[in-house]
Structures are given as structure tokens and as C-alpha cells.
Structure 1
Amino acid sequence: MADHSVFRITKELSEIQKNPDLSLAVACRDIDVRNVKALIIGPHETPYEFGFFEFAFKFNRDYPRKSPQVTATTTNGGRCRFNPNIYANGRVCLSILGTWRGERGEEWSAAQGLESILLSIQSLMSSNPYENEPGFEDANEQSDKKNQKEYVQKIRHETLRISVIQRLEEYLGIGVDGQVTPAVANKEEYDLDMDVVEDESTVPFEPFKDLCKRRFLWYYDSYLISVQKGKEEVKDGQTFSRMPFEGASNTMEGKFNYTELERRLRNIKKALDEETDGWAAEGLAAKANEGTVAVNLQRQYEQVVESFKRSGIPHNLELVDENPFVWIMTYFGKPMTNLDGGLFKLRFFFSPRFPEEQPRIRFETRLFHHRISADGTPCYFSPVNRREDVKSHIEAVIEALEEDSPPYDPRTLVNPEAFKLFWGTAEDRKMYNRRLRRSVNQSLE
């Protein structure tokens, strides 16, 4: 039984990790598959939009005959209840987990698994989470509508403050004053020539650190739009309204302060950009030491250049200051498309901890495109099984640029203005194409 449960958990983890779902992520230590961390990225057009919500799964030996134990860990230290069904103490109330009474047929079965639980939790993160409260249908309609609106307002504020801002500040070592603490910022520096063996039990397990940093760069403009929306609806200093279902130790209390949230968001963006730029100097030091990552990236650079030559691909590639950690690519727009005739420079930044930290890419030439943020960060699907292969990253970026008929996917909303036009009316799409062509023409100036 024990071997079967471990096999089942391992299989489910692998399937989710191979799935290009941009809103779910799972991870565990190699030595402990029964304890799994999961990340749900809040759905678009909800107060949870693009928040980072973490959950801990504990699988017993009876799995899948019995459901795992699930605990929400994004709770601001047990002080924030993010949903009527997600308590401040981490309890997740779902019928399939046996933590809530459900209708017949809604209880756990061995046919369900990790992904079905994550999707069930994600479904709680709706545009009107107040509806998740039992007895909602019997509530007084007028006061009920007021409560629903106020509940959404405070969830939006705390999603930004706790799930996004606090998490990223902790990852980046940003203090209250907005300054990066050197000791924290440099804690990952180590001798790049040596394999450092550490006791896993003493090292904090933060598998989503790099993912959240990259996604923050994707969704930064959406976060600022949420701030703007919040500023229009509530005043700084206004106290959160308590909901009828919130108890003394199971509530979401606080005051609105969107001005402060905006300041902290901008500080995070600045720190992330500085961290990315700092990889160049770190990389030169690693190159001087002939570190394995430096040697690997140099070899990959030479292979990609050779591959471009052999296949006749016109894109040009060069290193900045002979540094294998910073690549510049000149992308030539694909003929017979809206990109035809364009000439765009992209800068690829690589971390000395690559591929643990994935590349960060910026378009240095402005391009109005629904998959490129205002600051030039492209949204592309990372190669799931080839994270260490730079050529796969380059191909994925180009594919995102040139895709003719992409499926509608709000998880790729990195340029709100372009995204809205691209997926709007026929007239909106014409406007999108005009602005795209204008930026292509300007790329040659």
C-alpha cells in the first residue's frame, strides 16, 4: 500500500508539472513526496486576480483511498481569512476533503487526486466569493449586496498586500523603507565552482520563488490597475467591514491603503530589475572562475549561433562584453505577417543559478503586442522538460510572437491595453493591428 501511494503521488506531481497550466504549480523535496507544496495563481476578473496562494498537502499511506490533508499557508500568519471556505488557521472547507458537508456524490473518491483538489480550491476564488458562504441564499438582499461589494474590495486589497507584495518583499529582502537588505539579497551567493551539499532539512523549501518573481513581471501592470481601481472605490484609512460569517479569530481585518501598496509595488519592480541587471556582474565573476554554468551557457550560445547559420534563420545573436550570462538577439519580423519588416532587439539575462532561476528577457525595441508587457517582458510558455535548453526558450518566445490564432487565455494578460484590443470587437482588433504595425515600422527608425 505504501509503495502504491508514493507511486500515485509521484505520477500526479509529474502530470501537473508537465501540464502548461499557467495558474497551478506543485513541488516537493525529492526525499519527501508525501509533503507537497502547491501554488494557485488567482483567476482573472476576480478579487484574487494574479495573487500567489500557497497550500500544503500532506498525503497519508492510505492515499488515494483517503484524501490528503490540505492547509492554506497564505494567511498572513493566521490573521487573514481569504474566503468563506479558506480559514485564517489554514483550514480548507471542501466536501471532497471531508472538511465540509456536501451533497451525495461530492465526497472523496480514489478517482480524484491532487489536480482535482487544486481546481476545486481555485473555483472558490470567484468574482463573488461571498456566495460561498452557506445560507447566502437566505440573506437580506439589500444588506447582502452591500456586503458582497465590500467583501470583494477587501479581498482585492489583501490579495495584493499579502499574497503578492509581502511574498515578493520577503523573496527580495526588501524592508519597510523599500531598501534591499544586503545580507538577504546576497544569501544565495556561493562558490560557483563547487557543488555545495547542504542538509535539506535546514534549508527553507521555497520552490515557487523564481516563478513568482517572473510572474510578478508579467502581471505588474495588472497589479497597478487593481490599485487604481481600489483608489477609486475606497479611501486610504477606511476600515474593512466585518462580514456576518467572520468570527473573532477567523476574519480579515485591516484598513485600506492603496497609496502605500502602489509605493511597495514600484519598489518591488525596481528591486527585480536591479537583481536582473546584477546577474551580468555575477556572471562575469562566474566566467572568470570557469564555473560550470558559465561554461554551459558559452557552449549553448555557440551551438545556437551555429544552428541559426545552418538553418538559414536570419536572427542575429551576440554576447554583451563577451559575457555568456547576457545575450542580445536581433529578431527579424516574420514575412507575410504583421511583424514583417520589423527589427527588434531582445536581451536575455541568465542567472549564475540557471536553470534553477530561469532566464529573464526584455524587448529593448518597443513592440505593441498582447504577449509583451509595457516594459518589454515577453509572456511565453517555458519549455517544461527543457528548462536548461536556451534554444527552447528562444523558440518559445518567437512562437508567442508569431502565433496566428492563439486560444483566449487570460493567464497571458501581460499588456492589459493590447490584450483588451486583441480580444475585443472586430473594430478593436483592427486598432490592435494598426498599433502593432506602427510599432513594427518604428522599429526601423
Structure 2
Amino acid sequence: MRVGVHVLFALLLALAAVLSWQGARYLEQEAPGGGWTENPAHPFLGEAAGYFPHDATPVRCLVLALTAALAACYLVGTTWDHRLAMGRTTRGPGALRGWWLAVVLVLWFALLMLSTDFLWLLFPLVFVIMHVAGDGWPGMAVVVATLVVGVAVPAFGLPVISDAEGWSVGGLIGPTIGVAFAVAVRHVYRALVEELERQREIARQLALTRARALSAENEAGRLAERERISREIHDTLAQGFNSVVLFSRAAGKALDSGDTRKAAERLGVIGEVAAENLAEARRLVAAGRSGAQAGRTGAKAGKGPQPAASGAGGAAAAAPAGPGLRARLEELAAATTRRFGLPVEVVVDPPGEVTGPPAEVLERVTRESLTNAVRHSGADRARVTLGVWEHEATLDIHDDGHGFDPDAVPEGHFGLAGLRDRAAEAGGSLAIDSSERGTTITARIPLAR
């Protein structure tokens, strides 16, 4: 809008100067018997000011000089204001703004005294006044005073170059309507600018909130991924290393007692567990690499970094296709009996098969429960019962050990907490019932049909 006002001011100033140059021709009427002629359009100037030289050149030169002065003064002020608004200078005009406005109005008043054509500048001057003096009462007072001058000068026939016949209704209503319209446009423009700034601030706040939410989401994803990896390491590699430690101690005792056959058996188990741990470590590495590759692909597609799948879903997706849950449970039970001497019975009732993420969760629950039974319960036997229903699968792992307090798990033991997290991530639940007669761990996992 500033550019439009400046362009309008320049055009009106140039047009008024041209019309004033042409209108000065009526001053060139020769007076009989002398070089002066009476100006009939100045009935209120009296004899001292009612006569002008019949040569219009001085008047024209004065119009051009004042026009050039007004144009130069206006250009200097608006250029400075534009540079300040664009950040090209940090030196504000300060009190010079008021003096600059006063000089512009004085030059305009002087031109108005020469020609009524310069009254047209009143419309863009309203915007300049309100920009410098403000939209409040000081600015409005200057606008009203300028309007009064703009109406009074032509009404009293003061301009030297004028074809006005003095006071008229049109001479009052026209400038008043123009000024009122300019004030209304100024206020509407200011309201639009304020609304635009408000919308920009809202957009900035939304962008900031979105960035914070994205950062929090990414941080939550990283924490969830760390927790998943920690759980995977605990349920696989840590359990395997624990078995290696136990069997290496047993092998050492067997060697000390001279039982080489038993020591060889223990060493064989150590090799078997180490091979399983190696395969599990490779699986975890492959899962991590595939998750990282998926994240890079998602970022290139404009979807942002994609965290690796967590919980049972991620583990199942990373694991290669294999036998169903029943076969895996039977294999796990046989391995537990062979390695630790704990008889484990597997029962499936009602019969059915579980695959995919639910099978992965239930296998992890069984592995951790049997490991705890071997290490801590002193049980003589254990029983794994799998039930496959229409909408969910249930798993009960019972041992006849001495039990424990589920609410008083020693520090540094994360297995039970990990089991609860796995079940919760799969949309299921896990319950622990333990007493002196034994421990039963029950897991319920919904099935996708």
C-alpha cells in the first residue's frame, strides 16, 4: 500500500503542475494602459493583492520550483522510511519525522495558494499524515486541520490560478468525502495488517509447536527403540551368556572331580548356546540395519525418520519364517530339560496354532519364565499350557518351586518388567501368581483374524 500511495502522490503532483501551467494563461490578459491586470477571481484580496503581472512566467516558475521542492522533500522522507522498514538502515528519523511532515504540508499549502489543482494531493496526504503522526487523536487532528485548509483556501478564492467562483457545496463535500474515505481505507488497511501479523504469529507458534512435537516424538521413538533393544538383549543374549557362565562353572567342577564325560557334555552345551547367541546377535544386527534403511527411505520420501518396529511386531518382522508356536515351545521345553535337567511338559488346549507377532511374544514369555524357574525357583518340574481361542491366545507357565514376591523383585532384574511391556505392546496382559506351592505366569495376547 505504501508504494501505491507514493505513486498516486507523484502522479497527482505532476498532473497538478501541468494543469497549473496551462491554467496560468488567463493571467496573460493585457491590462489597458499598464502592465498589470486585475484578477476577478480574488474579490477578498483587496487592492494590494488583487493585481498580478500579465506575464505568467514568474507564477509558472514559482509553481515549478515549489513542485520540485515538494517532490524532493517527499522523496527523501519516503526513501528513508523505506530503507528503515526493509532493514537497510538502523538509523531512525526520530523527531525529524514531524519536521519533515511540517515541511511537506507547508509546501503543499504554498502550492494550493497558487492553484486549486493541488487540492487533489489531499487524498494521499491523509495516508502520509496518519503514517507519521499515527492513527490516534494527534494524527486525526492534523488530518482535520489539513482538510479545513484544503476546503477554506479555494472557498475564499485565495489561489492565484483558479477558476473557482468562491464558496460552494461541492467544494466542501468533495474533499470531505475524499478525506473520510482515505481515513476509512487507512483503518481497514491497519486492521488487515494487524490480522496478518496475528496469523503469522499463530503460524509461527504452530510451526514451533509442530517442531517440538516432532522432536518429542523422535525422542520417544529413540527411547522406545532403546528399550526394545535392551529387552531383546536381556531375553536372548543375556540369557545365553548366563547359561554359558553356569555351564562353564559346571564343566570346571566336573573336571575338578575327574568326570570328563560330564565336562564334555557341559562344554557341548556351551558350544550350542554360543552358536544360538551368535545367530541371535546376527538377527538383531540385521533387524537394526533394516530399520535404519527403512528410516532413510522414509526420510527421502518426505515422511521423516521412521523408528524401527518395536515390541513383538518388530522382532517377528526381523525373524525369518519358522515353525509355529507349538513346535517352538516343544523345542524350548526339550532344550531346557536337556541342559538343566528340569522336566517341562507342553500342553495345547484348546488346540490351534499361533503365528506372527503373538507367537513371538508368547515364546519370549515362555523362555524367560523357564529361565527364572531354573535359576531361582528350585522347581522339580514345569508345565507350559497354550490355549488358542477365537480372539486370543493364553499361555500358562507353572513350576512347583518355592515361589517369590512379584512386588519385591531385586534391583537389576528386568525380566518380569520386560515381559509385562511385551504383553502390553501386543495389546495383551500378563499376570503373576506366586506362593510357596509354586509360580504361575499367565499371558493373554489378542489374535488378529
TM-score in same-fold range (> 0.5): no
Higher RCO (CA < 8 A, seq sep 6+): 1
> What TM-score do the two structures reach when normalised by structure 1?
0.22
Greater helix percent: which structure? 2
> What TM-score do the two structures reach when normalised by structure 2?
0.22
